[in-house]
């Protein structure tokens, strides 16, 4: 099967030329690039011209192509159109990247495959596993060679801040179904850290370039160890896409949680992964983020509510995974997501604050629709 690279942009992706070169280096028919874009033909035409010149396979996927799915244009959720098209085309795995992630090459494409299929993962052991004593691992702790990291990944629950990582020899094989790749350069940290520390790309490169390595360490996570999953550099097996719903979170007046949409998607996915008895990994492809323009104070405002929503979904999802019956292991990921979504909608009132309840209900209902669509496409 072809590996799919799903890149999201408003118009033509900034890094498309580089992705096209990477795809051709990895083998023309082995990689398909899906440019998930708003319904803007100018950007689509430019993207097609770039791919044609590079000899790369490109599919432009737009929300209007999927009227049966609740995809909102003009926001990061347009990536769902790319994911859905890759599912229809039978791609496996799917590598999600943002258009400000640079450094892609044929070697990084192979690193994306190896994170799931290589000597680290299925049946052939990840010889060393990483475990967080808190149950949730900050990926940047794996790169902090001189003691605990002084930053944390965006979306990291408070229970895991500054907590150590333990390493042990793996004693069993396990199927890895998702891997969080490295976001270097300007790491994926939250607005609090950017505002307080006046983060700069030079600081990020000095701290996290890992001695110039193009492929930093990769680790399988121990059973019941979770990690924040963003959509900036994330690899998923086709089967796991059945439980991966990237939501749109409505603004309620001045209240917005949109900065945590990908993180919330990751918690729900990981609940299903744990219930299935599968694993996640941290590592694999390494991209350097040349961050698109952001207003850090706007991000800070949206992340405040986003963290409240993320913390609720994280706690709820952990409890759901713990209580999941053995029968879940025999179900497909899409069926499992359907059950998880129904339970989340039922339990949304536990969030108590009216805006959190509404957001949880919205996410659950839309995830249920994705689960139905995914089941109809064999996931």
On whether residue 307 sits in a domain, the answer given is yes
Of the listed ranges 201-215, 256-270, 349-363, the least confidently predicted one is 201-215
The phi, psi pair for 144, rounded to 5°, reads -90, 95
- The secondary structure element, H or E, covering residue 236 is strand 233-236
Query: Could you give the CA distance from residue 109 to residue 102 in angstroms, rounded to a whole number?
Result: 13
42: number of Cβ within 10 Å:
10
Q: Does residue 1 lie within any of the structural domains? A: no
Q: Is the pLDDT of residue 121 over 90?
A: no
What is the phi/psi pair of residue 165, to 5°? Answer: -105, 135
ω into 351 cis (within 30 of 0): no
In whole angstroms, how large is the CA radius of gyration of the chain? 19
Q: How far apart are CA 308 and CA 250, in angstroms?
A: 15
**Per-residue tokens: 245:** 């719903």
Look at residue 210 and tell me whether its pLDDT is greater than 60.
no
Task: Choose the weakest-confidence range: 138-147, 159-168, 208-217, 268-277.
Answer: 208-217
Determine which helix (DSSP H) or strand (DSSP E) holds 177, and give its type and residue range.
Answer: strand 176-185
Residue 330 has pLDDT above 90, yes or no: no
Q: What would the pLDDT profile of 123-142 be if each residue is shown by its tens digit?
A: 444 567 888 889 999 887 77
CB 33, CB 20: distance < 8 Å:
yes
pLDDT of residue 372: 96
pLDDT at 213: 41
Nearest to 99 by CA among 201, 161, 179, 19: 19
Asked whether residue 28 is domain-assigned, the answer is: no
Q: Rounded CA gap, 226 and 280, in Å? A: 8
257 SS3 class: coil
Buried b / exposed e along 126-135 (16+ C-beta atoms within 10 A) = beebbbbebb
pLDDT at 150 (0 to 100): 59
42-97 pLDDT per residue, tens: 778 888 899 998 899 999 998 888 988 999 888 889 999 999 999 999 999 999 99
Beta bridge partners of 35: 7, 60
Asked whether the predicted pLDDT for residue 32 surpasses 80, the reply is yes
Task: Judge whether 128 and 219 are in contact, CB under 8 Å.
Answer: yes
Residue 200 confidence class, pLDDT cut points 50, 70, 90: very low
In a domain, 232, yes or no: yes
DSSP states along 76-138: GGGHHHHHHHHHHTT-SSEEEEETTEE---HHHHHHHHHHHHSTTSSSS--SEEEEETTSB--
Tell me if 250 sits within 8 A of 235, measured CB to CB. Answer: no
Predicted local distance difference test score (pLDDT) of residue 366? 95
State how far the Cα of 185 lies from the Cα of 80, in Å rounded to an integer.
26
Q: Is 70 a domain residue?
A: no
58 lies in a domain?
no
What DSSP line would sit under 178-199, residue for residue?
A: EEEEEEEES--B-HHHHHHHT-
Q: How far apart are CA 222 and CA 139, in angstroms?
A: 13
Looking at the predicted structure, is the pLDDT value of residue 118 above 80? no
Please check the confidence at residue 257 and state whether its pLDDT lies above 80. no
What is the spatial distance between Cα 84 and Cα 374, in angstroms, rounded to a whole number?
A: 8
* Interatomic CA distance for residues 347 and 117, integer angstroms: 36
Mean pLDDT of 234-242: 96
In a domain, 140, yes or no: yes
Residue 172: which domain range? 92-376
- CA dist 342 and 89 (Å) reads 28
Q: What is the pLDDT of residue 123?
A: 46
- Across the range 202-229, mean pLDDT stands at 64
Q: Is residue 71 part of a domain?
A: no
Contact predicate 130/219, CB 8 Å: yes
For the chain, the domain total comes to 1
Per-residue pLDDT at 191: 65
Averaged pLDDT score across all residues of the chain: 84
């Amino acid at each position: 099967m072809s590996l799919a690279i799903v890149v999201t942009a408003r118009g033509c992706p900034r890094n498309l030329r580089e992705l096209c070169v990477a795809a051709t280096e990895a083998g023309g028919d082995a990689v398909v690039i899906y440019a998930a874009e708003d319904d803007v033909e100018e950007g689509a035409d430019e993207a097609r011209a770039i791919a044609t010149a590079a000899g790369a396979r490109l599919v432009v996927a737009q929300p209007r192509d999927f009227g049966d799915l609740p995809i909102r244009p003009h926001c990061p959720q347009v990536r769902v159109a790319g994911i859905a098209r890759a599912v229809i085309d039978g791609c496996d795995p799917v590598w999600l990247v943002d258009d400000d992630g640079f450094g892609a090459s044929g070697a990084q494409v192979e690193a994306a495959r190896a994170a799931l299929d290589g000597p680290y993962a299925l049946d052939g052991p990840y010889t060393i596993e990483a475990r967080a004593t808190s149950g949730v691992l900050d990926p940047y702790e794996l790169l902090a060679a001189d003691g605990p990291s002084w930053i944390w990944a965006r979306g990291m629950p408070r229970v895991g801040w500054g907590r150590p990582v333990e390493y042990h020899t793996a004693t069993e094989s396990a199927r890895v179904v998702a891997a969080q790749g490295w976001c270097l350069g300007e790491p994926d940290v939250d607005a609090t850290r950017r505002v307080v520390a006046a983060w700069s790309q030079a600081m990020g490169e000095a701290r996290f370039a890992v001695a110039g390595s193009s492929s930093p360490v990769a680790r399988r996570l121990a059973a019941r160890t979770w990690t924040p999953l963003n959509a900036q550099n994330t690899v998923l097996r086709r089967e796991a896409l059945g439980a991966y719903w990237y939501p749109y979170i409505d603004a309620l007046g001045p209240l917005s949680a949109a900065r945590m949409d990908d993180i919330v998607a990751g918690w729900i996915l990981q609940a299903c992964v744990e219930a299935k008895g599968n694993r996640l990994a941290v590592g694999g492809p390494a991209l350097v983020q040349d961050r698109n323009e952001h207003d850090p104070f706007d991000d800070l405002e949206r992340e405040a509510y986003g963290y409240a929503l993320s913390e609720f979904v994280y706690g709820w999802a952990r409890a759901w995974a713990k209580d999941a019956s053995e029968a879940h292991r025999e179900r497909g990921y899409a069926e499992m997501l359907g059950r998880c979504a129904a339970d989340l909608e039922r339990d949304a009132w536990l969030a108590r604050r009216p805006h959190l309840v509404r957001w949880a209900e919205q996410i659950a209902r839309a995830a249920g629709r994705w689960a139905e669509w995914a089941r109809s496409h064999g996931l």
